[in-house]
């Protein structure tokens, strides 16, 4: 039997979620909700379901709802997720929340703790690694073909130039950390997916002259160094339309292991693999030429393809009764990205100091703290 689904927040991303549910046989979209009546009514007419203007009213009148997608907006491009997500959880619903899971890390901790205590499904739309290139790269990693992480580099953001700067758009987000908090959950989630937990962060944030002249508050250029618990280091660079990305496009991830290297280009488009079989082991490392990569082109160019894959995975996990701790892109996974975000803010505000992110809640009741290299 299909899961009965409601979507709360009928902006652009809410419509994306609704379309994914309508097209997935594991789901039946039964309701949409928005505090703006016109938005709810128009969406209900488009998707052939009931309209509500208050979430609690919807949940009281439709107790048969199994899943709630929280896609509400907010002052930092999706910051108002805590209240609607918590309401749905208190009604014992499975919840998929858009990123970032919350704007305030303290609220995110509370949300994740509540879901865990009550053994409820809480997922987040960390959709950037729900792609065929990422899936194939992960398989190589799990098969032992990549080896120990040496370093990773993740470039991701928005293409642009100073000539294309839109002052009116900038005025929507007059907060310094709007880009970091609203967007960088994605690259942090990708780095954690391939490299594991981050135990050290050093961040430098900036904005170009055109934003300074416009008195734009947003720190749109985010340069973040990472140290992983499993070993290895990483670098994340993200910018919000201040420049054009070069090699790899708007989204590129390069992962260098002790056995081989892979890189993902434009998120959904290509996977490149540098195979060590091309190396001459009799030559010194200083004389090695980089071999030509083995490239797989997936014939996909639309980033929109990530949404049905991610939402489909959430529906599959619920339908298959996967233990709540092990669902893909869980609330706990989303909390990790927010802990890294707030660690980056703390680092920046302290002149680029090394910051150890707060530890994640245990998955199975083991409250012992994992030591980091900086613990005394």
Is 369's pLDDT higher than 60? Answer: no
Is 45's pLDDT higher than 80? Answer: yes
Q: CA dihedral defined by 114, 117, 120, 126, rounded to 10 degrees?
A: 60
Beta-bridge mates of residue 124: 97
Report pLDDT for 278: 60
Between CA 313 and CA 3 the distance in angstroms is 13
Distances (CA, A) of 174 to 107, 157, 306, 330: 22, 19, 29, 30
H-only helix segments in 202-305: 209-213
CATH 3.40.50.720 domain locations along the chain: 3-128+306-329
Mode of pairing for the β-strands spanning 3-8 and 27-33: parallel
Model confidence pLDDT, tens digit, residues 189-198: 999 999 999 9
pLDDT greater at residue 28 or residue 172: 28
Specify whether the CB–CB gap between 40 and 32 falls below 8 A: yes
Specify whether the CB–CB gap between 154 and 224 falls below 8 A: no
Mean local confidence (pLDDT), 171-184: 86
Q: Which two tokens stand for residue 195?
A: 């490299």
CATH fold for domain 3-128+306-329: Rossmann fold (3.40.50)
Beta-bridge mates of residue 260: none
Q: How many angstroms separate the first and last alpha carbons of the chain?
A: 54
Between CA 366 and CA 360 the distance in angstroms is 11
Is 206's pLDDT higher than 80? Answer: yes
DSSP state of 101: S
Beta-bridge mates of residue 88: none
Mean local confidence (pLDDT), 240-269: 95
Report pLDDT for 370: 39
Between CA 27 and CA 209 the distance in angstroms is 48
Mean local confidence (pLDDT), 213-225: 94
Nearest C-alpha neighbor of 334 from the set 175, 151, 127: 127
Report pLDDT for 279: 62
Q: Which two tokens stand for residue 211?
A: 């934003």
Is 375's pLDDT higher than 50? Answer: no
Mean local confidence (pLDDT), 40-57: 98
Q: Which CATH number fits domain 129-302+338-349: 3.40.50.150, 3.90.110.10, 3.30.360.10, 3.40.640.10?
A: 3.30.360.10
Nearest C-alpha neighbor of 151 from the set 248, 246, 225, 249: 225
Q: Which helix (H) or strand (E) holds 339?
A: helix 331-349
Between CA 268 and CA 248 the distance in angstroms is 11
Beta-bridge mates of residue 313: none
Contacts of 270 (CB under 8 A, 6+ apart): 133, 264, 295, 296, 297, 298
CATH 3.30.360.10 domain locations along the chain: 129-302+338-349
Mean local confidence (pLDDT), 1-19: 97
Cα 201–chain centre separation: 18
Model confidence pLDDT, tens digit, residues 136-150: 999 999 999 999 999
């Amino acid at each position: 039997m299909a899961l009965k689904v409601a979507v709360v927040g009928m902006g652009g991303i809410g419509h994306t979620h609704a379309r994914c549910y309508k097209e997935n046989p594991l789901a039946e979209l039964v309701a949409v909700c928005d505090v703006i009546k016109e938005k709810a009514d128009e969406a209900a007419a488009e998707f052939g379901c009931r309209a509500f203007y208050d979430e609690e009213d919807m949940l009281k009148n439709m107790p048969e709802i199994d899943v709630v997608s929280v896609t509400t907006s907010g002052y930092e491009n999706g910051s108002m997720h805590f209240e609607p997500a918590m309401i749905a959880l208190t009604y014992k619903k499975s919840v998929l929340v858009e990123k970032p899971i919350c704007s305030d890390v303290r609220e995110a901790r509370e949300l994740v703790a509540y879901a865990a205590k009550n053994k409820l499904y809480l997922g987040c739309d960390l959709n950037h690694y729900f792609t065929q290139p990422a899936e194939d790269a992960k398989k190589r990693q799990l098969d032992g073909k990549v080896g120990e992480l040496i370093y990773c580099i993740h470039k991701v953001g928005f293409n642009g130039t100073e000539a294309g700067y839109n002052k009116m758009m900038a005025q929507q987000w007059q907060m310094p950390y709007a880009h970091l908090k609203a967007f960088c959950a994605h690259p942090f989630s990708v780095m954690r997916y391939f490299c594991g937990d981050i135990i050290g962060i050093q961040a430098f944030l900036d904005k170009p002259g055109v934003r300074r002249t416009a008195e734009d508050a947003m720190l749109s250029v985010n340069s973040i160094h990472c140290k992983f618990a499993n070993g290895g280091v990483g670098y994340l660079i993200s910018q919000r339309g201040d420049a054009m990305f070069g090699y790899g496009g708007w989204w590129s991830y390069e992962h260098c292991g002790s056995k081989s290297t892979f890189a993902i280009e434009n998120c959904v488009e290509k996977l490149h693999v540098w195979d060590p079989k091309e190396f001459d082991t009799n030559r010194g490392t200083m004389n090695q030429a980089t071999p030509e990569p083995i490239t797989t082109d997936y014939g996909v160019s639309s980033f929109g393809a990530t949404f049905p894959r991610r939402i489909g995975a959430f529906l599959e996990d619920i339908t298959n009764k996967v233990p709540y701790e092990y669902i893909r892109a869980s609330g706990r996974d989303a909390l990790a990205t927010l802990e890294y975000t707030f660690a980056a803010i703390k680092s920046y505000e302290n002149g680029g100091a090394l910051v150890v992110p707060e530890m994640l809640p245990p998955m199975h009741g083991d409250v012992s703290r994992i030591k980091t290299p900086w613990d005394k």
